[in-house]
Structure 1
């Protein structure tokens, strides 16, 4: 159902802290212009847990206005199952094409709790669901075992695989065949995951470098592995910025330098400063100075 490059977009804020819808439209439009295959709003990179439900729905509607009919998914990530179900219902009513669902952000669910919560959210939204498997960030491991049980419900259609272990991607295919569309969610494992069968890339640095991200994916689909690898090797220092507690600040700074946006974040986050800002700026500046010419994809 879902494949290709699907950005997990950042959320742009005004100086007063409100949503900057004009800048969201501009930045997300760049993703569509570059050939991305959909949008995911209100995820970790989108500062979803810092947003009210009404803001989430506003962002969803904004994304739908620029997506050119491509799928727009709402991230469902809350402390309680009840709140997650509320988000899922509201997203469905507002026209989401699907949900990306995370277990509780606060409580680390056991196996049965994970199954029951995921099923409840899927039933509440009654939309196609991408399972977000990220044991590193969220401390709950949605294992292939759990995926197999969830497969009984046809609403579970895809997996964002973010375990940080490339062996997990192969394990899912060995265990479940093509039951799920498997997309990689770790920027600096994307080439590896796509090479072993992942059909898509839920990407982060794409928001600052959309054309390069799309080029890597499309070149791999065309079997032009060495061309894709050359771009990926250039991209790697940037992609490493996604694997950090400061991924939001890192990637928003990349947007400042690459597409002329801003790096406002919602408290308690603050933009990078001092030595850490200088370190990240150096990485981005080096990448911009050595940006490769992209081959024709036709």
Structure 2
């Protein structure tokens, strides 16, 4: 069983959860989607994240999505989001997915946390609940969780818990946080893997600050894979040129409320999933938004041809 470590690098695509038009899990599309992501250069996957509509799934469905994804992913690592309001649910789902062969679990802080001591204490109870043998990804996403985790607090958590091996970094603005974490490691603090979110909107800058890759969703995962590859080779200008070709669609997908609808529409258009349907409640694209997306895809295609 492959597990994530503090040295894990690359692109872990945040996977959507495919549904049929009636809202049922689409088992066939899970297979197609996993194949698509891997064919486009993903080093691993993260499922049941915020953009995977995890709160709309039952516990049994979450386990079923994990089982199907792991069966298709083969030797590629799969991280499972297990965030929940209560620790009992986190512990139960963690045990189930780790028994199935997950590479680790991702936990975001509940929005009730306000002080540094509360945040540190929360992750202490998470590790106690799931066990020190389970690799944990700490999801730092204050734009959604409303929990501000300082660099100092992150450092205290990392020092206390060796099993927290990865930071899913999606603070915004957050480039300085990456620099400060890497500077602390240079002074002797243990290393953690840093994979970045926010749909890759700052991926080129994040890689230059010391990130190890991306853990986010975008309907063109090959962009993220190529940007990470080029950045690791020191070809930052080529990485930026490539990124710039995709940036308008990255930006459009960042819109609160319809971002997932955009992503699922493009994934369905590319054949990765059969339907762009979301489980209720979920926004759908209207005709004007679809026209916007099609225009951006056409422009993106022309720009990529010019780079070739």
* TM-score, scaled to structure 1: 0.90
CA contact (8 A) 2:11 2:225 kept: yes
Ranges in structure 1 where 5+ consecutive residues have no aligned partner: none
Report deviation, 1:182.
1.1
Query: What secondary structure, in the 3-state scheme, does the structure 2 residue paired with 1:142 have?
Result: coil
Q: Which gives a bigger RCO, structure 1 or 2 (Cα 8 Å, sep 6+)?
A: 2
Report deviation, 1:117.
2.3
Q: Which of these residues, 66, 81, 91, is aligned with residue 75 of structure 1?
A: 81
Task: Give the Cα–Cα distance (whole angstroms) in 1 for the partners of residues 38 and 306 of structure 2.
Answer: 20
Ranges in structure 2 where 5+ consecutive residues have no aligned partner: none
Report deviation, 1:113.
2.6
Matched, 1:226 2:237: yes
Alignment partner, residue 185 of structure 1: 197
Task: Give the Cα–Cα distance (whole angstroms) in 2 for the partners of residues 124 and 157 of structure 1.
Answer: 16
Task: Give the Cα–Cα distance (whole angstroms) in 2 for the partners of residues 190 and 12 of structure 1.
Answer: 26
* TM-score, scaled to structure 2: 0.87
Q: Which of these residues, 160, 171, 190, is aligned with residue 163 of structure 1?
A: 171
Task: Give the Cα–Cα distance (whole angstroms) in 1 for the partners of residues 106 and 24 of structure 2.
Answer: 24
Task: Give the Cα–Cα distance (whole angstroms) in 1 for the partners of residues 144 and 45 of structure 2.
Answer: 21
CA contact (8 A) 1:231 1:292 kept: no
CA contact (8 A) 2:32 2:272 kept: no
Any idea what the Cα deviations from partners look like across 1:111-160, whole Å, max 9, x if unmatched? 33322222222232231111110111111122222212212111111101
Alignment partner, residue 14 of structure 2: 8
Any idea what the Cα deviations from partners look like across 1:147-201, whole Å, max 9, x if unmatched? 1221211111110110012112112212344521111112110111011110111
Task: Give the Cα–Cα distance (whole angstroms) in 2 for the partners of residues 293 and 44 of structure 1.
Answer: 35
Does the C-alpha gap of structure 1 residues 5 and 277 become closer, same or farther in structure 2, counting only changes over 3 Å?
A: same
Report deviation, 1:265.
0.3
Report deviation, 1:47.
0.8
Alignment partner, residue 130 of structure 2: 125
Task: Give the Cα–Cα distance (whole angstroms) in 2 for the partners of residues 235 and 56 of structure 1.
Answer: 32
Length, aligned pairs only: 292
Matched, 1:43 2:63: no
Task: Give the Cα–Cα distance (whole angstroms) in 2 for the partners of residues 224 and 184 of structure 1.
Answer: 19
Report deviation, 1:8.
0.4
Task: Give the Cα–Cα distance (whole angstroms) in 1 for the partners of residues 243 and 205 of structure 2.
Answer: 10
CA contact (8 A) 1:148 1:176 kept: no
Task: Give the Cα–Cα distance (whole angstroms) in 1 for the partners of residues 78 and 254 of structure 2.
Answer: 24
Any idea what the Cα deviations from partners look like across 1:62-113, whole Å, max 9, x if unmatched? 2212223121111122223332233223222332110111012x53443333
